[in-house]
Chains A and B, each alone.
Chain A
Amino acid sequence: MTLTKRISYSVTDTWAITHRNLLRYLRLPQLLFFSSFQPVMFLLLFNYVFGGAIGNEAAVPGGRYINFLLPGILVQTSLFGGLQTGIGLAEDMGKGIIDRFRSLPMSRGAVLAGRTFSDMIRNIATISIMLTVGTLLGFRFLNGFIGAIATVAAVIVFSFAFSWMFAFIGMSVRDSETAQLAGFASIFPLTFASAAFVPIQSMPSWLQVFARNQPVTHAVNAARELALGLPSTGAWWKLLLWAGGILAVFIPLSISRYKSRV
């Protein structure tokens, strides 16, 4: 098979699987509703519960707490969105359909790539809902249109990379409940011990060391700087470095796990 043919087959295979996964959301609209319900609830709770406590202009960059909060919540939401990749794949693994795919002369990465792409598209939908609700709560992009696009792009790149990490977890545990628990166990410490909800200076010093140097903080800082036009701390290239590193490790790992799956 020629290389161009191989590439064009990979693209059509991936699209066929993406389409399959997206159809599920169209056929089960309540799934889409409830998957955006939880992040919206987080947004409301954080804004009204923490907003009063730390929401003065001196304490947070970006002025109002909602301006500080929303980029953080977007990153958290997109991480949970990435977790769906793991859950979805674990579910598929338990069913016969993966055997069908593996017995077809299709590209080996397409089932995984199709899953991560469809989750990315769903993530974009969720992010739009979050931005709408955020705007109603008073959030404003302060860095122009390009800044707004760059913010969303940063969040999506980040979640796409994590999607591949969760893909690997999902295929390794092979059970959707375990995949969910494993995902929660990594997402909660990463998001709460980060710059997502509160300024890092308020944490104990030992925790600050972790919080300052972990990927979620870089993603949150990048999103915040791009959305609010804050002076850049170089967070965006640290985010890209992390995303690239995660992809470089987990794409080959996931594909080889898919190939060798019993």
Chain B
Amino acid sequence: MKTAFEVIDVHKHFGDVKALAGVSLKAEQGKIYGLLGPNGAGKTTLVRMLSTLLSPDEGSIRVLGTDVVANPDKVRETIGLAGQYAAVDEFMTGRENLYMVGRLYHLDKQEAKDRAQEILERLNLLDAAERPSRTYSGGMRRRLDLGASLVGRPKILFLDEPTTGLDPRTRLELWDIIRELVKNGTSILLTTQYLEEADELADQIAVIDRGKVIVEGTSDQLKSRLGGDVIEMEIPPAKHQKAIETVRKFGTKDPSIEGDHIILPVKEGRKKLIDVVRALDAVKIAPESIALHRPSLDDVFLAVTGQKASDVSQAPKAKKGARS
């Protein structure tokens, strides 16, 4: 395995606040590494260190084998950084922003122009290219920000909560762009508050809270610790017997009953939801309600620490968990 970046026992304090308390990570090249955690977990601090904006108090960080403290300039030539605060100049047009970044990567004028054009095309921003970026929508600005991070053809891209605050459609667009980048060989570190996002994109996930990695693994490994998705059906008790017989074959475990609700643990919930609806319809059972619940960040924390995430109140959750 070729290492994209490696974090070794890193500590960081801001005054009395301990932002990172001994974090170690290792990410493979050409993959997406997902860093999942609530607000204040230390994700941004770690990204800022990997991108040479901050130095660790203790421990060491290497990006493509280069130490970020000893040789930051070499690291800066190989990385791109995009984040939740779209770091573009609002009075410059989209094209001017990309051109400026190109010049700051020391491309010559023609190269910088060509690169700007290429990125505008790729990120579908050509129509807005000559408008000041302050007239952009949030999603467009985020795309331009991502575009700016691509100007230097980075080998490693750090994306700090790239989709926080975006509407679902724009989020899906960004996911597609991210997938395409990886396909072309870029290594990516993605931080997110959304389990769903890490699940969709990341090959390897580390869950981080209060400056510590709580659990690390592939998305499947994490999910198996959680038990995966559940389908919850509200059905009059008189029909419970028949309903259970009908849906049992779709579950990974036997369904359970909670009041009027039948709860069925499943794998690949979205597909199974349709199967369940069809099967129930075939036996003439019409549920009062039916819902798919996916494990949320809260569930991860509950499962691995037995505690609630320290600050998930501000993070919109993927679902409202009704399981017990």
List A residues at the B interface (Cβ < 8 Å).
9, 12-13, 16, 19-20, 23-24, 27-28, 95-106, 110, 262
B91 touches A16 (CB 8 A): no
Least CB distance from A118 to B in Å reads: 12
List B residues at the A interface (Cβ < 8 Å).
14, 48, 51-54, 73, 76-77, 79-81, 83, 85-89, 91-92, 96, 100-101, 103-106, 132, 145, 148-149, 152
A100 touches B81 (CB 8 A): yes
A-B contact count (CB 8 A): 71
A20 touches B106 (CB 8 A): no
Whose C-beta in chain A lies nearest to the C-beta of B87?
A96
- Enumerate chain B residues within 8 angstroms of A101, measured Cβ to Cβ: 104
Among B85, B86, B91, B105, residue most surrounded by chain A Cβ atoms (within 10 Å): B91
- Enumerate chain A residues within 8 angstroms of B101, measured Cβ to Cβ: 100, 104
Whose C-beta in chain A lies nearest to the C-beta of B103?
A16
Give the interface SS of chain A, mostly helix, strand, loop or mixed.
helix
- Enumerate chain B residues within 8 angstroms of A12, measured Cβ to Cβ: 103, 106
- Enumerate chain A residues within 8 angstroms of B52, measured Cβ to Cβ: 102-103
Given the known inter-chain contacts A102-B52, A105-B77, please indicate yes or no for A95 contacting B100, CB distance below 8 A: no
Least CB distance from B232 to A in Å reads: 41
Query: CB within 8 A of B53: which of A23, A27, A28, A103?
Result: A103
Given the known inter-chain contacts A103-B79, A105-B73, A105-B76, please indicate yes or no for A23 contacting B92, CB distance below 8 A: yes
CA distance A110 to B105 in the complex (A): 13
Least CB distance from A104 to B in Å reads: 5
Query: CB within 8 A of B89: which of A9, A20, A103?
Result: A20
Least CB distance from B110 to A in Å reads: 14
Least CB distance from A122 to B in Å reads: 14
- Enumerate chain A residues within 8 angstroms of B92, measured Cβ to Cβ: 20, 23
Whose C-beta in chain A lies nearest to the C-beta of B81?
A103
Least CB distance from B45 to A in Å reads: 10
